[in-house]
Structure 1
Amino acid sequence: MTHIEINGSPATADTLRLPALTSYGHFTAMQIRDARVRGLGLHLDRLRSATRELFDGDLDDARVRADIRHALEAAGIRDASLRVYVYWPDGDERATLMVTVGPPQTMATEPKSVMSVPYVREVPHIKHLGGFGQNHYLTAAYRAGHDEALLADPQGVVAEGAITNIAFWDGSSVVWPDAPSLLGITMALLVPRLPSAHRRVTLADLPSYRSAFLTNSQGFAPVRRIDEVEYTVDTELMRQVTAAYDAVEWDTI
């Protein structure tokens, strides 16, 4: 079950009209454990920056944290998958915040199969609402027996996964595609903790990499293939990724 609060109060049929009827907004997704989260400052920065860009308004960090704490307390749990959505109806003096609280989730660690698709997200640097194309191609990948879709532009330049970031291993560096995409929080936490490089990656380049892995708010997992390109699961690389991620401190909400 999901507990939903809007502006610090339990959601009602009336207050749910806004999220039900508008797709103009943004959000962040996080995994909460013992009322703590990795990268809290990055989540708050994401929300504040997108609110400024989309609505030309300010969002108070203290308000966001207070609404998260209240929703967790009302739900009666300290481990959760939690999202904070931001809307700003015309004429309102401040943003509307919706917090959803559900069961905790962790990305399954079995190697993933990925299907490339001819699509890139609009305004990709913002974690925005209304991603029909993204969901359409992700559903197509699922129906074809894959675990994720890989978004690439008409020239075959790789950007990101439908709901993940992707990284490639060339034997010495973790290569993150240098293309317009969303900077995921897990990616942002791993980049400075791994031997990282940002490089243009195309679909034609995929066979040149030894291995790959995916990241999102639920964690990370190795890739076993993209389309017809098979990858070896590099256990030493995944050990390094695990160690880097485990070294990230948990922040109290």
Structure 2
Amino acid sequence: MTTSPATALPYAEFDGRPATEDDLRRALFFNYGHFTAMQVRGGRVRGLDLQLARLDAANRELFELPLDGALVRRLIRHALESAGAADASVRVHAYLPPDTDATTVMVTVRGPARMTPEPQRLMSVPYARTAPHLKRPGEFGQTYYANLARRSGYDDALLTLPDGSVTEGAITNIGFWDGTSVIWPQAPALAGVTMGVLERELPGAGLPSLRRPVALDGLGAFRSAFVTNSQGMAPVARIDDTAFTVDEELMRRLAAAYERAPDEAV
């Protein structure tokens, strides 16, 4: 991928052209839509097929319209080239403004980001997102509880159902290690792309990957835990009063499995 001279970041395009004030105003006042977030390195993305499938499925569900993956790739590539960025944090947002019959696609480009590898402390909170399988802007509840957790001395929030079932982090998926297998909570949650890449790669790395219910009162059965999102992964040191072993070898194996996954040019 060739790059043009660098443009000040963050940078945004709507349907392949630089964002105008009117574009941004419309997105601000009409934010019913969905998005996906990815890390681009050297113009390439791991799990790009999962990203494109997420966008298309959400667009069909919300707007009854497909969202062509080839078009999305062209728009991402154009925004990266316009921004002069081969390494970046990219978000693709899709809207259907009320006076149109075609999906509007906004691509934003920021500097590259990576999750801190420091062990995280999570505070469980009683919150379930509406339509949790959709990734969408304006999640007040997640932000509210994440801020509450940080003010309480934790690093982030862990969302749970009324029956105590663990679902996901405020902006992460969570996985557990029982000494034999990686366990992902079987509960209503967003299927994160990093989680999806790991689910595909872990069996080949000798790490069985399973989905099954996980309850707060059963956390003591697990040796270790970790969180993932588009920026990477990190171990979990504690959930409420339950401490976990920070297993550096497990984290190395997870990272190696992720790095073995093929990447694609946008």
- What's the TM-score once normalised by structure 2's chain length? 0.93
1:85 match: 93
Segments of 5+ residues of structure 1 without an aligned counterpart are none
1:229 match: 242
2:184 match: 176
2:229 match: 216
1:130 match: 138
2:109 match: 101
Structure 2 residue identity aligned to 1:164: T
Deviations 1:48-72 (A, max 9, x none): 0000000011111121111101110
Q: Does 2:139 correspond to 1:143?
A: no
Deviations 1:149-181 (A, max 9, x none): 100011111000010000001110100000000
- CA distance in 2 between counterparts of 1:192 and 1:198 reads 13
1:21 match: 29
Shift of 1:91: 4.1
Q: Does 2:215 correspond to 1:202?
A: yes
Bigger Cα displacement from structure 2, 211-220 vs 145-154: 145-154
Shift of 1:77: 1.0
C-alpha RMSD of the superposition:
0.9
- CA distance in 1 between counterparts of 2:150 and 2:19 reads 32
- Structure 1 outlier segments of 4+, above 2 Å: none
For the Cα contact (< 8 Å) 2:30–2:97, is it kept in 1?
no
**Helix, strand or coil: the match of 1:213?**
strand
Structure 2 residue identity aligned to 1:156: G
Structure 1 residue identity aligned to 2:18: P
For the Cα contact (< 8 Å) 2:172–2:192, is it kept in 1?
yes
Shift of 1:236: 2.0
For the Cα contact (< 8 Å) 2:159–2:167, is it kept in 1?
yes
Deviations 1:18-76 (A, max 9, x none): 21002310000000001110011110000000000000111111211111011101111
- CA distance in 2 between counterparts of 1:40 and 1:124 reads 21
Shift of 1:94: 1.4
Identity, in percent, stands at: 55
Segments of 5+ residues of structure 2 without an aligned counterpart are 1-8, 203-207
1:250 match: 263
- What's the TM-score once normalised by structure 1's chain length? 0.98
- CA distance in 2 between counterparts of 1:121 and 1:219 reads 22
Q: Does 2:165 correspond to 1:157?
A: yes
- CA distance in 1 between counterparts of 2:148 and 2:31 reads 22
1:48 match: 56
Shift of 1:192: 2.5
2:254 match: 241
Shift of 1:206: 1.0
1:62 match: 70
